[in-house]
Amino acid sequence: MREFLLGMWIAIALVAAGPATRLMADDASKDAKVEKKEDSKDSKSAEAEKAAKEKSEAEAKEKKVREEKAAADKKAADEKKAAEEKKAVEKSKAEEKSSKKDEKSDSNKSSDKKDAKSEKKVRFAHIVIDGELPESPGEMSLFGDLGVDLRKTMARLEKAGDDKSVAGVVLQINSMMGRGKLSELRSAVERVQSKGKKVYAVLESAIGPQYQLAAACDEIIMPESGEIMVPGVRAEFTFFKDLLGKLGIEADMMHVGDYKGAAEPFTRDSLSEPVRKNMTALVDDLYDEMLTRIASDRDLKTEDVRKAVDHGLLMAKEAKEAGLIDRIAYPDEFRKQLEKEYKTDNLVYVENYAKKKVDTDFSGPMGMMKLFQTILGEDTGKKSDSEAKVAIVYAVGPITTGKGESGPFGGSSVIGSTPMVKALKDAAKDDTVKAIVLRVDSPGGSALASDLIWRETQTVGKPIVASMGDVAASGGYYISMGCDKIYAEPGTLTGSIGVVGGKMAMKGLFDKIGMTTESIARGENSGMFSATAKFSKGEREVIERMMKDVYGQFTTKAAKGRGMEKDALEKLAGGQVYTGRVAKRNGLVDEIGTLREAIQAAKRLAGIDADQKVEIKVLPEPKNPFESLFGGDMETEKEVRAQLLGPLAGFSPELSAAVKRVVELRQVMREPVALMMPFWIDIK
């Protein structure tokens, strides 16, 4: 039993111990697995350690290789550097050795270079703009064709531009000039510049047009004591009514055209409203042209130029600050500056460049013959008569019928219808003359003379181009309007299509000086040209009818010449004066251009190639001084004028100019009807 119970307890114990036994078995299994995992982990760790060790050894090996390579490179660089240093030392020694040997040779080369600089000659054409620069050939001087005129001055500039031995031009501007001449000279300066040469303007002082010419140049040079006076544009009008009244002279004048003011200096003491309006518009355009031209030339704003003009007078320093000049230097300082800029010690001013010289050696048996050849202007170097020519016919001064005249020793000229018509006929008959340029610088004059000259322009049978200078108004416009083309300068005064007529009644003067007259007359209008009395009613009607007829001819021919309807032309007439710029806009002229451009136009009309050079034939031919000195036309009146105006000009140039104008108008008013602009205007 006891054995049975023991067996039961053992069985129960075994049953009870079964889960625990399994748990223990599971734990044992788990422990075995863990041990297996740990063993695997340990194996992997060992492998990683081995790989890391191998990597470290490889990196160490690679580092060692790099270090060895760097050491080798450093060694090679050090060896190379040492070799270069050695080579440099050797080279330095060689150069030091040869430097003493070459020192003398280098010194000689430097000396040669300096000598070469000294030997380099740079030539500048030195041209002085001086005197009145007359348009026409006028009279010869006592030493031949040596006078200075506009055409010769421009030719000298032209030659300087073409002369390869000339590096540039030094232009010394001493002369005042009209606006037409100003444009011509500016154009000549621009042609020199177009050849790649600089033009330097040298001024001591400058007024108005002088400065405008200088502004066209590349640089303006002035001493520190110099000044520029550009006070704007001013038109001055002189009236003689009160003066004539004090003398007892009464002007009895008439006009056709509300703006025709040519008689106003003698009949009024101030401008009429229509004339004032016209003159104001004229001044406005001249002022605008001046401002825009200076601004363009000097690369300034128009408003800045206006401020400088309003200032009026600027000393050299002020002018430079305002941008009106480039350098403040005396002539000798400027010359040294040019030497430095052109890298030469041998800079030469060619004085009186291209100016004709005269041989003054009249000694020996042939001396007298040489003297007379010089005085007569004989030229053994004249061109062949067979060469193609363009004739320039000069019409300069007031226009009168007959021969016209000029004062002794080159006084002011007057256009006579007879020599003008002859000059046009001569140009027409000369087979070598292919075209004609009529150069006009005239305020007008006799209606009859103007019409005779106009008619000849219609019959020449060759291309004819008008070129207007400072003024070509009234009769000056009349003789131009029939040409194939009309060229005017921007500042030319032109137009003034109107008529004036009348006379001076001298009775009051005669009474003052105790002189009396008595007349016996037949005919109602026999006193029409009496110097003592004013026009009667009937005489006035006759003169007015004649003036209206002349005005009708003027406007009709002008309209035909310009290709306008007469009504359209008459709106521009009535005595109105225009600048060249405005005349171009309203159709009274064809082009704005210089004499040179008019010549080119004449060549084109004649079928002459633009590049073909032509000879210029100047007409009328200059008068010989012997004609005035010993000829038969040296009237007493002419001699008295010369004796009067000469001293007066020295005492008061303004008064002399006024007297001269009165004398010229008296010449024109010998005829009952005249085509005159208000030429007493002084544009300053």
Per-residue pLDDT for 378 more than 70?
no
Find the range with the poorest average confidence among 238-242, 255-259, 347-351, 641-645: 641-645
* 235-236/682-683 β-pairing: antiparallel
Residue 334: CB atoms within 10 Å: 19
Alpha-carbon gap, residue 353 to 526, rounded angstroms: 61
* Burial group, residue 158, by CB count within 10 angstroms (0-12, 13-18, 19+): middle
Q: What is the pLDDT of residue 108?
A: 54
Long-range interactions of 543-546: CB distance < 8 A, separation 24+: 543/254, 543/501, 543/502, 543/672, 543/673, 544/254, 546/501, 546/672, 546/673
At 594-647, the pLDDT tens digits run 999 999 999 999 999 988 989 999 999 876 555 555 444 445 444 445 555 555
**Higher per-residue pLDDT: 528 or 678:** 528
> What average pLDDT does the segment 574-591 reach?
96
Strand ranges, E, within 443-498 = 444-446, 464-473, 485-488, 493-495
pLDDT at 547 over 50: yes
Question: What is the pLDDT confidence band of residue 34, given thresholds at 50, 70 and 90?
Answer: very low
Mean pLDDT confidence for 87-114: 58
Q: Which residues pair with 467 in a beta bridge?
A: 439, 487
SS3 state at 678? coil
Q: Between the ranges 49-58, 97-106, 254-263, where is the mean pLDDT highest? A: 254-263
Which is nearest to 413 in space by CA: 425, 403, 404? 404
Work out the average pLDDT over 216-245: 92
In the block, tokens 């941008």 appear at 323
Do 618 and 135 contact (CB within 8 A), yes or no? Answer: no
Characterize the bridge pairing of strands 577-579 and 615-619. unpaired
Question: pLDDT class for 22, splitting at 50, 70, 90?
Answer: very low
Cis peptide before 620 (omega within 30 of 0): yes
What are the C-alpha distances in Å from 406 to residues 138, 409, 639, 655?
8, 9, 11, 20
Residues of the chain with pLDDT > 70: what percent?
A: 69
Rounded to two decimals, what is the model's pTM? 0.75
Question: How many other CB atoms sit within 10 Å of the CB of residue 340?
Answer: 10
Radius of gyration of the chain (CA): 49
Q: Cα 145 vs. chain centroid, distance in angstroms?
A: 28
Which of 48-57, 432-441, 520-529 bottoms out in mean pLDDT, i.e. has the lowest?
A: 48-57
- The pLDDT tens digits of the residues spanning 174-217 come to 988 888 899 999 999 999 999 999 999 999 999 888 999 999 99
Q: Are strands 346-351 and 591-592 parallel, antiparallel or unpaired?
A: unpaired
> Given a cut of 50, is residue 244 above it in pLDDT?
yes
pLDDT of residue 600: 95
pLDDT averaged over the chain? Answer: 81
Residues 6+ apart with CB under 8 A from 160: 125, 127, 166, 169, 192, 197, 353, 354
291 confidence band (pLDDT: 50, 70, 90): very high
pLDDT of residue 431: 94
- pLDDT reading at 24 higher than 70: no
